Chain A
Amino acid sequence: MTRLPITKTPKVYVGGAFIRSESSRVFPLKDAAGNFFANIPQCTRKDLRNAVEAAAKAGPGWAKRSAYNRGQIIYRLGEMLEARAGEMAEAIMLGGASKAAAAREVAAASDRLIHYAGWTDKFEQVLGSVNPVASAHFNFTVTEPMGVVGVIAPEEAPLLALISLVAPVITGGNTVAALASTSQPYPAILLGEMLATSDLPGGVVNLLTGFHKELIPTFATHTHLRALTGVANAEERKTLKLGATESVKRTHLLKAEDKIDWFADSAQSVYEIRQALEFKTTWHPVGA
């Protein structure tokens, strides 16, 4: 008996649900051989607005979880990715990567999640401090998550770069509205399905697909985004920094022109976690 083909409708993961763009717009994605693969949601500024609302709603609950529990959940995300590594590798191969290169990228992405899962209950010891002061005070500095952070993924390394940018932000207790690679969006769609099964509360990570050109101005000016991290070209960096100045947000932007080695050890660091943290210093009086 011949079966009718059952094709998948790619949907983006926002607020713990799989949605189409509110605009209903899609753009066609082709595989490496140039054949039509699927229609990908072309998200709009309103989708970004909704993603930020979802992230803001999820924020307090995520930040309030114990660091240990956040680590467990991020580790679980690594497990989910590992379990579906073959499927994810095929998604990366759509962009033209060889089988070996795709497998290597998935393995590195899983390892990166495990790396940050370990940091959740340790970065405070490294980044926080007890400060010597010349008075009868116990003076200490602790970190706090900034809130909702915008993440802009580069075109290359569609899985590894996205995870390398998102993982440190959620490790610190922030929530994320992220924009996936325009040319290779499918790994982000698959990642959404893994996020949904990894105990990560809905809304902590919201992944959008679409055109960077359309969405970057909204990332820049949205006042509810407290920080922006990611990769952008010269023109995009200018837009982002101007908008960030207007809305007073922190930017941590890598240059798309530079060849970034996402596999390098330097691509994972406790200092990436620090990019989305605020420091609070407290003067506590003590008996002389």
Chain B
Amino acid sequence: MLVKSPHAAFARLFDEIGSVDQVGIEERVAKYTTRSIKKVSKLWGLKKAVSMVDLTTLEGKDTPGKVASLCQKALHPHDDPAVPQVAAVCVYPSMVRHARRALGGDSAVRIASVATAFPSGQAPLKTRLAEVKSAVADGADEIDMVINRGAFLAGEFAEVQDEICAVLAACGDAALKVILEVSELETFDNIRAASFIAMEVIREGDFIKTSTGKTSLNATLGNNQVMLEAIRDFYLDTGIAIGMKPAGGIRTAKQALQFLIAVKETLGDAWLTNERYRFGASALLNDLVRQIEKEKTGAYQAPYYFSEAAESY
């Protein structure tokens, strides 16, 4: 019996895309937390971050009412009209039609849905594709899929890509975000490898995304940086601009600004738009709005003056 070694497959891939200098990445991202962003630039960054939020609720206890209230919050994050709408709401497929009803047909706030047996992805391909099609039919503008981590770690890259392609076909016009689930990939090298495997098959305007938010380790400046550099290298090679979405664990405005600094200093201003960069988050929006209010009034704000995170609807 032929036993295929994943090592050979990974070795071939790294010959092609290069590996990651882990210490270098960690030192690089440590610098991002030392940047002093004040006054006008801070306010700009906070508003930009609001416009990039994928306001998310992914819980077993989600109800149509909770999703409707989330959608209202997405449309009007704050009573100050200077605060922009968020980029999208992110819900389970069964909630897409409720979100569509709440947002209306021509809303600028898009609907993203986590299809493909989120978060594990452990369902037959047929089932996962059916889920994608149903979400798109219900009105989803964007699909967040998880990759087959088992196949990836076994070195079966073609299988991973074939599945992404199948989901892509099921998406139609909907944008695709490919969740690598970095906490299960274990090393920065693997994150870079998975990023390239996904980017080679998705379209311009599609995204790669760090994580589901359902495991212990979520988006960090480190894994964000690895993926941003993969996007940069891929763009320089092919001219195809892929978007990026860190998700999970970004709760404070301060963190969001640090992620934006990483984007600006790695990919440049062209990626500082919600067409190419998103935050998958639920609690973050409250803190962003709270800090915007602090910048406006000069007074530190109590969190209870802002509507609670999605969890507590």
The size of the chain A interface, using a CB distance under 8 A, is: 12
Bitwise interface map of A from 25 to 54 toward B, beta carbon under 8 Å scored 1, else 0: 000000000000000000001000100100
**B301, B302, B303, B305 pick with most chain A CB within 10 angstroms:** B302
**Contact residues of A between 217 and 238, Cβ < 8 Å to B:** 218, 221-224
CB-defined contacts of A45 to chain B, threshold 8 Å: 300
| B54 CB to nearest chain A CB (Å) | 26
Q: Which 8 A-B pairs have the closest CB atoms?
A: A224-B302, A221-B299, A222-B300, A223-B302, A49-B300, A223-B301, A223-B299, A247-B299
Does B298 interact with chain A (Cβ within 8 Å)?
yes
| B257 CB to nearest chain A CB (Å) | 15
Bitwise interface map of B from 276 to 292 toward A, beta carbon under 8 Å scored 1, else 0: 00000000000000000
A contact set with B: CB distance below 8 Å: 45, 49, 52, 56, 218, 221-224, 243, 246-247
Bitwise interface map of B from 292 to 313 toward A, beta carbon under 8 Å scored 1, else 0: 0000011111110100000000
| B242 CB to nearest chain A CB (Å) | 37
A243 to B300, CA, bound (A): 12
Interface of A is mostly: helix
Flag if B298 contacts A223 (CB, 8 Å). no
The size of the chain B interface, using a CB distance under 8 A, is: 8
CB-defined contacts of A224 to chain B, threshold 8 Å: 300-303
Closest partner residue, chain A, to B293 (CB atom): A223
Closest partner residue, chain A, to B299 (CB atom): A221
20 contacting pairs across A/B (C-beta < 8 A): A49-B300, A52-B300, A56-B302, A56-B303, A218-B300, A221-B297, A221-B298, A221-B299, A221-B300, A222-B299, A222-B300, A223-B301, A223-B302, A223-B305, A224-B300, A224-B301, A224-B302, A224-B303, A246-B299, A247-B299
A56 to B305, CA, bound (A): 14
Bitwise interface map of B from 61 to 75 toward A, beta carbon under 8 Å scored 1, else 0: 000000000000000
B contact set with A: CB distance below 8 Å: 297-303, 305
| A39 CB to nearest chain B CB (Å) | 24
CB-defined contacts of B300 to chain A, threshold 8 Å: 45, 49, 52, 218, 221-224
Closest partner residue, chain A, to B297 (CB atom): A221
18 more A-B residue pairs beyond the given contacts A221-B299, A222-B300, A224-B301, with a C-beta to C-beta distance below 8 A: A45-B300, A52-B300, A56-B302, A56-B303, A218-B300, A221-B300, A222-B299, A223-B299, A223-B300, A223-B301, A223-B302, A223-B305, A224-B300, A224-B302, A224-B303, A243-B299, A246-B299, A247-B299
A247 to B299, CA, bound (A): 9
CB-defined contacts of B305 to chain A, threshold 8 Å: 223
A211 to B271, CA, bound (A): 44
Closest partner residue, chain B, to A45 (CB atom): B300
CB-defined contacts of B301 to chain A, threshold 8 Å: 223-224
CB-defined contacts of A49 to chain B, threshold 8 Å: 300
CB-defined contacts of A52 to chain B, threshold 8 Å: 300
A246 to B298, CA, bound (A): 12
CB-defined contacts of A247 to chain B, threshold 8 Å: 299
| A185 CB to nearest chain B CB (Å) | 23
A223 to B298, CA, bound (A): 11
CB-defined contacts of A223 to chain B, threshold 8 Å: 299-302, 305
| A230 CB to nearest chain B CB (Å) | 18
A218 to B297, CA, bound (A): 12
CB-defined contacts of B303 to chain A, threshold 8 Å: 56, 224
A45 to B299, CA, bound (A): 10
| A263 CB to nearest chain B CB (Å) | 36
CB-defined contacts of B298 to chain A, threshold 8 Å: 221
Closest partner residue, chain B, to A218 (CB atom): B300
A49 to B302, CA, bound (A): 10
A54 to B300, CA, bound (A): 14
| A281 CB to nearest chain B CB (Å) | 22
A249 to B303, CA, bound (A): 15
| B251 CB to nearest chain A CB (Å) | 13
A223 to B297, CA, bound (A): 11
Closest partner residue, chain A, to B301 (CB atom): A223
CB-defined contacts of A243 to chain B, threshold 8 Å: 299
A218 to B298, CA, bound (A): 9
| A267 CB to nearest chain B CB (Å) | 31
A22 to B300, CA, bound (A): 17
CB-defined contacts of A221 to chain B, threshold 8 Å: 297-300
A243 to B298, CA, bound (A): 11
